[in-house]
Amino acid sequence: MTDVQYCVRCLYPETHPLGLVLDEKGVCSGCRIHEEKDELDWAERFARLEKLVAPYRSNSGLRYDCIVPISGGRDSYFVVETVVRRLGLNPLLVSYNRHYNTAISHRNIAYLRTIFDCDYLQQTLSPDTVRALCKRTLDLCGSFHWHTIAGQTVWPVQCAVRFRVPLIIWGAHQGVDQVGMFSHLDEVEMSRWYRKNHDLMGFEPEDIVDKGDGLLERDIAPLFYPDDADLSAVGVRGIYLNNYIRWDTKAQHERTIADYGEETATLARTFDRYNNVDCVHFAGIHDAIKVAKHGYGLARDHACREIRLKRLTREEGLALAEDYESRPVTDEKMLLDWLGMSCSDFWARIDRHRDSRIWRRSEGDWLRIDRQIHPDPDACALHAIGKIAEADFSAHSQRSSDDESYRVFSRGYV
C-alpha cells in the first residue's frame, strides 16, 4: 500500500494532477484559499476590476473592448452578462470547437450571443486533424481531450493578437478555485507557462509535430501560442473574474437559468447538471479515463467544491463521488467508432498513464493501492466547515432545435 494522504476537509488526494499541498493539520491548499471567499471584501474586489478594465474600453467604438472565451456551458452566460451588463464592455465572443458538442451546447451559444447582442467567432479544425491529434495525445498523456484544452486556451489569445484587442476576460482560474495554487489576492493572469505545465500536462503543440503519423506543423499551427513579440506589440493580457467576484458556479448558473433560460441537463457521471452540459464525453468516457489515471473523477471535483461552499458534508460528498465514479459509461462506443480504434488499443494507451501511487496491475486487473480516502475522523470533524444549504442541481431545457427558422450554425458531419 502507498501512503497517499487525503484532505481532511474536502476529498482531494495530495496526488491531484494540478498540484496541491496539505498543511500540518491535513487541510489542502484548495480549501485554505477557498476560505478567502468568506474573508475578502468582494465589493472592493469588484471595484478593482472596474478600474482594471476601464482603460481597455474603446473610445471610438470601432473595435472590441475585450475578448471573452465561451463554451455552451460552464458559466458562459454569467461571464458574458458580467462583461456586458455590469462592466459595460463590448466583447468579441470566441470559442474553440471541441467536436464532441451536445445539442444543448449549440443552443446555449446561439441564445447567448443573441441575448447579449455580441459578435462571435469560432475556430474549427479539420476532423482528420482532430482525430490524429486525439490518437497522438492518447499515447502521449492518456487524453483525447487534450486538443480541446489546447484550442480553448490559445484561440482567444490568437484572436487578441489578430484583432489587436489586448484584454481577454476568463471565468474561473482552476489553479485558484480548485487547488489553491495562488491566492485571489495574487490576481494571477493568463500565461503560456501555466498553459503548458498544467492545462496541457507539460506538452505544447510544437512538441508533437512530425512524428511520422502525418500530423504536420501546418495542421496544428492553429494551436501554437503566439510569439512573445506579437503578444507584447498588442499588450495582450488575460484576467480571471474569480479573482474579483466571489465565485459560486451553482448560484451563478441558477440566476442565469432563471434570467436567460440557459439550458442544463442530467449527466451520466456527476450530480452537477450545469457545468459540463456542452460536451458529450466530459462526464462520460473522459471521466472514466480520469478515474483510471488519477483515482478520482469529475463528481469528486464537484463534491469538493460543494463541501467548501457548505452545501455538502464530507460524508455526503464522498458518497456522491464514489457512486458516480462507479457508474457505467455509455458513450465509449461513439468515441471509439469515431477514432476507428478498438477498445483494447484505447485502454492500453490509457493504462500506461495510470498513477503508480494509486494503481497496481495484478493478474490482468487494476487494483487500488492507496490507503484510500478515509483520514482520521476526529481531524475531519475538527476541520469541517458545516453545511448551510443543499447541493441540489436541476435540469432545465425548454428550448428546441427543430423549428424552421434560419440556422446560423448547425451540426457538423464528421
| 31 vs 79, beta carbon nearer Zn ion | 31
Half-sphere exposure of 217 (CA within 13 A, CB side): 2
| 7 vs 289, beta carbon nearer Zn ion | 7
Half-sphere exposure of 90 (CA within 13 A, CB side): 11
Half-sphere exposure of 1 (CA within 13 A, CB side): 6
- Beta carbon of residue 9, minimum distance to Zn ion (angstroms, whole number): 5
127-141 vs 343-351: helix crossing angle, rounded to 10: 50
4 sits near Zn ion (criterion: CB under 5 A): no
Contact 136, 109 (CB under 8 A): no
| 31 vs 149, beta carbon nearer Zn ion | 31
- For 171-203, b/e burial (b = at least 16 CB within 10 A) is bbbbbbbbbbbbebeebbebebebbbebbbbeb
| 269 vs 300, beta carbon nearer Zn ion | 300
- Beta carbon of residue 20, minimum distance to Zn ion (angstroms, whole number): 8
Measured in degrees and rounded to the nearest 5, phi and psi for residue 101 equal -75, 145
Q: Give me the DSSP letters along 5-40.
A: -B-SSSS-BTT-TT---B-TTS-BHHHHHHGGGGTS
179 sits near Zn ion (criterion: CB under 5 A): no
- What is the biggest distance separating any 2 CA atoms in the chain, rounded to whole angstroms? 69
| 7 vs 208, beta carbon nearer Zn ion | 7
- Beta carbon of residue 26, minimum distance to Zn ion (angstroms, whole number): 9
- Beta carbon of residue 383, minimum distance to Zn ion (angstroms, whole number): 9
Closest CA to 110 of 127, 131, 93: 93
Number of residues in contact with Zn ion under rule CB under 5 A = 5
Residues 6 or more apart whose CB falls under 8 angstroms from that of 153 comprise 195, 199, 200
Which residues in the 28-87 window bind Zn ion by CB under 5 A? Answer: 28, 31
Half-sphere exposure of 289 (CA within 13 A, CB side): 24
- Beta carbon of residue 376, minimum distance to Zn ion (angstroms, whole number): 14
Neighbours of 395 (CB within 10 A): 14
| 10 vs 321, beta carbon nearer Zn ion | 10
Neighbours of 384 (CB within 10 A): 15
Contact 108, 262 (CB under 8 A): yes
- Beta carbon of residue 265, minimum distance to Zn ion (angstroms, whole number): 28
| 161 vs 384, beta carbon nearer Zn ion | 384
| 182 vs 225, beta carbon nearer Zn ion | 182
- Beta carbon of residue 178, minimum distance to Zn ion (angstroms, whole number): 10
- Beta carbon of residue 38, minimum distance to Zn ion (angstroms, whole number): 15
Stretch that binds Zn ion, among 4-12, 143-151, 220-228, 382-390 (CB under 5 A): 4-12
- Beta carbon of residue 300, minimum distance to Zn ion (angstroms, whole number): 11
Provide the mask over 6-35, with x wherever binding to Zn ion is found by CB under 5 A and - wherever it is not.
Answer: -x-xx-----------------x--x----
Provide the mask over 252-281, with x wherever binding to Zn ion is found by CB under 5 A and - wherever it is not.
Answer: ------------------------------
| 31 vs 103, beta carbon nearer Zn ion | 31
- Rounded to whole angstroms, what are the CA distances from 152 to 70, 124, 169, 246, 280? 9, 11, 13, 24, 17
Which residues form the interface with Zn ion (CB under 5 A)?
7, 9-10, 28, 31
